[in-house]
């Protein structure tokens, strides 16, 4: 009995040290192979990207200090965050004591619930507001995502039944397991807000390799949401940008598209070399910011013009032509997602006092 108690205590201590709630693993964590690839960006700084073995959706960044670990964004579900912490043990035995949510979106903050109460979850005040009282899960972006999972499962089942090639069938079966695990984890979702908030900036002071390390958390203005923060490491010249700046385009469903380019101007003032985006691979090419600003300005101008002509949001979503940006972004032809156009129409109406 004493030995059992000792063993149990060891397990509880292990979970406590990792900063995870001392509870059973959440549903939907099973997967084959590694769920994350940890790309080393600098000593003690990693960019974690999903391999496809588990639904994780957004990227996270991992900052390993002398005594603790800071995780920037915690993925799409409790299962994804749980597995992140399990696999983090491959690169460090230090405890995760701090999580930063770059914004409230489900694919960056829906892992929050697995962390113990003594883990600081830091985010903008707006991020807390949205993750409190179920507001975030009422937003169209999340509703669309959640509604898509059963459809994805049914579709995969049909394709598996119709697939004659064994290799392709096995690949589809793997995708089905990933989708089913995601569904199981989404069923356990309890949106959990940051327990530490900021309005404009906060700096964490840590030690790394015996020297001081600053981790700045900065709100630079409204952009992808009303509460995006970036995590900036001035010594390493690295910035984690969430979805304010990704490797490609970024969704606009909760955005202030008219303010976004100005916020990116503020980002450009920071002295960084490497961007760790919320989606896609890390990059150094700052001209991506210029291209994205130009795209956003054109989206705003084009959609505003169509609205002024009395064109419906549905029609504007088909007609808005951004093909002139196709050299820099995956744009096949005219059209902008309806969710983006609806948001822009809404922002214009609110600005015009027709709220
Ligand atoms: Zn987002």
Q: What is the 3-state secondary structure (H, E, C) of 125-137?
A: HHHHHHHCCCCHH
How far does residue 337's CA lie from ligand 1's centre (Å)? Answer: 15
Radius of gyration of the chain (CA): 21
Local structure of residue 243 (DSSP, 8 states): T
How far does residue 253's CA lie from ligand 1's centre (Å)? Answer: 9
Give the closest residue to 28 by CA, choosing from 91, 75, 65, 69.
75
Q: Which helix (H) or strand (E) holds 93?
A: none
pLDDT above 70: residue 354: no
Same domain, 110 and 63: yes
pLDDT above 80: residue 10: no
Distance from C-alpha of 144 to C-alpha of 137, rounded to nearest angstrom: 10
Indicate whether 36 belongs to any domain.
yes
Q: Contact at 8 Å (CB) between 234 and 121? A: no
Beta-carbon neighbours within 5 Å of ion ligand 1: 105, 243
Same domain, 6 and 85: yes
Indicate whether 161 belongs to any domain.
no
Same domain, 108 and 225: yes
Of 120 and 8, the one with more pLDDT: 120
pLDDT above 70: residue 23: no
Same domain, 320 and 343: yes
Local structure of residue 222 (DSSP, 8 states): S
Same domain, 55 and 197: yes
Whose tokens are 């109406």? That residue is 349
Whose tokens are 């130009």? That residue is 294
How far does residue 162's CA lie from ligand 1's centre (Å)? Answer: 35
**How large a percentage of the chain has pLDDT more than 70?**
93
How far does residue 92's CA lie from ligand 1's centre (Å)? Answer: 28
How far does residue 64's CA lie from ligand 1's centre (Å)? Answer: 24
pLDDT on residue 281: 97
Retrieve residue 132's tokens. 């409190």
Indicate whether 185 belongs to any domain.
no
| Residues 327-350, mean pLDDT to the nearest whole number | 95
How far does residue 21's CA lie from ligand 1's centre (Å)? Answer: 26
How far does residue 308's CA lie from ligand 1's centre (Å)? Answer: 28
Here the CATH number for the domain that contains residue 15 is 3.60.15.10
Residues across the chain:
355
Same domain, 265 and 119: yes
How far does residue 347's CA lie from ligand 1's centre (Å)? Answer: 18
How far does residue 98's CA lie from ligand 1's centre (Å)? Answer: 20
pLDDT above 60: residue 21: no
- What is the tens place of the pLDDT at every residue in 209-231? 999 999 999 999 999 999 999 99
How far does residue 246's CA lie from ligand 1's centre (Å)? Answer: 10
Total domain count for the chain? Answer: 2
Give the closest residue to 337 by CA, choosing from 299, 305, 307, 309.
299
Domain boundary among 257, 277, 297: 277
Structural domain including 46 reads 2-135+192-277
């Amino acid at each position: 009995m004493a030995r059992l108690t000792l063993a149990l205590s060891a397990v509880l201590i292990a979970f406590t040290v990792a900063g995870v709630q001392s509870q059973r693993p959440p549903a939907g964590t099973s997967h084959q192979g590694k769920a994350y690839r940890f790309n080393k960006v600098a000593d003690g700084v990693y960019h974690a990207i999903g391999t496809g073995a588990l639904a994780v959706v957004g990227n996270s960044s991992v900052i390993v200090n002398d005594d603790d670990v800071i995780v920037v964004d915690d993925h799409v579900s409790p299962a994804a965050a749980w597995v992140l912490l399990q696999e983090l043990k491959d690169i460090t035995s230090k405890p995760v004591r701090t999580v930063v949510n770059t914004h409230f979106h489900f694919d960056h903050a829906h892992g929050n619930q697995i962390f113990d109460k003594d883990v600081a979850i830091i985010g903008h005040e707006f991020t807390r507001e949205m993750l409190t009282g179920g507001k975030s899960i009422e937003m169209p972006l999340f509703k669309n995502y959640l509604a898509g999972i059963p459809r994805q499962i049914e579709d995969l089942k049909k394709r598996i039944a119709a697939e004659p090639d064994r290799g392709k069938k096995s690949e589809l079966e793997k995708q089905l397991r990933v989708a089913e695990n995601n569904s199981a984890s989404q069923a356990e979702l309890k949106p959990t807000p940051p327990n530490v908030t900021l309005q404009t900036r906060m700096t964490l002071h840590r030690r790394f390799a015996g020297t001081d390390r600053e981790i700045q958390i900065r709100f630079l203005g409204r952009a992808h949401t009303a509460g995006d923060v970036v995590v900036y490491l001035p010594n390493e010249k690295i910035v984690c940008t969430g979805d304010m700046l990704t490797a490609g385009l970024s969704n606009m469903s909760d955005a202030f598209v008219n303010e976004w380019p100005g916020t990116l101007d503020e980002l450009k003032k920071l002295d960084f070399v490497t961007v760790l985006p919320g989606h896609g691979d890390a990059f150094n090419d700052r001209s991506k910011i210029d291209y994205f600003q130009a795209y956003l300005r054109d989206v705003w101008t084009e959609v505003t013009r169509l609205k002024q002509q009395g064109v419906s949001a549905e029609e504007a979503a088909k007609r808005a032509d951004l093909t002139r940006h196709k050299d820099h972004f995956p744009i096949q032809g005219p059209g902008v997602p309806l969710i983006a156009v609806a948001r822009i129409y809404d922002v214009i109406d609110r600005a015009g006092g027709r709220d």
